[in-house]
Amino acid sequence: MSYESIIFIAREVMVYQIPPLKTSKGYRASEWDVAKPLWTGRLKVVEKSVPVRAEAYDSSELRCELMLEDGNTGELFATAVYGANGKGVEQVVDSSRFFVIRVVDGERHAYLGMGFQERSESFDFNIALQDYKRHATPGTGLTEATNAKEPTKDYSLKAGETITVEIGNKTRRRKAGSSSGSSNSSGALPFLPPPPSAAQVKQQQSEQEEQDDFGEFVS
């Protein structure tokens, strides 16, 4: 099953004819004639699944396309493909609002400049591309470790092993495979008696006072 999802829209972007790349450091928008764009229109970033068929199974992969359209008619001007490896879109080295995109037309391709009016739009554009990369190449570290089923641990005593339980100043040792001679064969620890109730405490105090009074009387 294929689907398409629009992950970003800019109402107006500028597209520029740019000179060839001069150095390996990257493109510079200062070398463009930014006052005279080649084209102005709408940018729509679309995430879509592309079916991939093999002999034994059917699967799908995600693809990201930058679609440059006329803002009024929707007529397509150019399409650029952005790969999960980050290729297809490159930010210039001297501005956060300008990018270089690789537009494709069948077997042909060309590099064009693209600029946003506001830095906030270019920031949202970058976030959309990062979201696509995360969807196309989901993380494997923590996710797989969390979903992996942990092996069942055996906490039972093996033959010859013993366990020591301390109760107050007494130590009780129990050996695997043996049974206790006491009536508490389940091995449960004995419970302490409950504390005396308020009525019992009051009665004990009354008896103690009577004994003290009687001692003073006989003396």
Pick the range with the lowest mean pLDDT from 67-81, 152-166, 182-196: 182-196
Look at residue 136 and give its three-state secondary structure. helix
CA dist 185 and 146 (Å) reads: 40
pLDDT value of residue 203: 73
Tokens for 75, please give them: 């007529």
Q: Is the pLDDT of residue 152 over 80?
A: no
CA dist 95 and 10 (Å) reads: 18
Per-residue model confidence as pLDDT tens digits over 167-211: 555 555 555 555 544 445 455 555 556 666 666 766 776 666 655
- The single-letter code of the amino acid at 201 is V
pLDDT value of residue 3: 81
Tokens for 13, please give them: 């972007």
Q: Is the pLDDT of residue 11 over 80?
A: yes
Tokens for 95, please give them: 């501005």
Between 201 and 55, where is the model more confident? 201
Pick the range with the lowest mean pLDDT from 17-31, 48-62, 84-98, 104-118: 48-62
CA atoms within 13 A on the CB side of 219: 6
Between 16 and 24, where is the model more confident? 16
- Model-level pTM greater than 0.75? no
The neighbouring-strand residues paired with 53 are 58
Look at residue 26 and give its three-state secondary structure. coil
* Cβ atoms of residues 21 and 29 within 8 Å: no
CA dist 60 and 2 (Å) reads: 8
**Domain annotation for the chain: domains and CATH numbers:** 4-138 (2.30.29.30)
Nearest Cα neighbor of 112 from 10, 12, 19, 11 is 19
Nearest Cα neighbor of 112 from 8, 12, 20, 7 is 20
* Cβ atoms of residues 111 and 118 within 8 Å: no
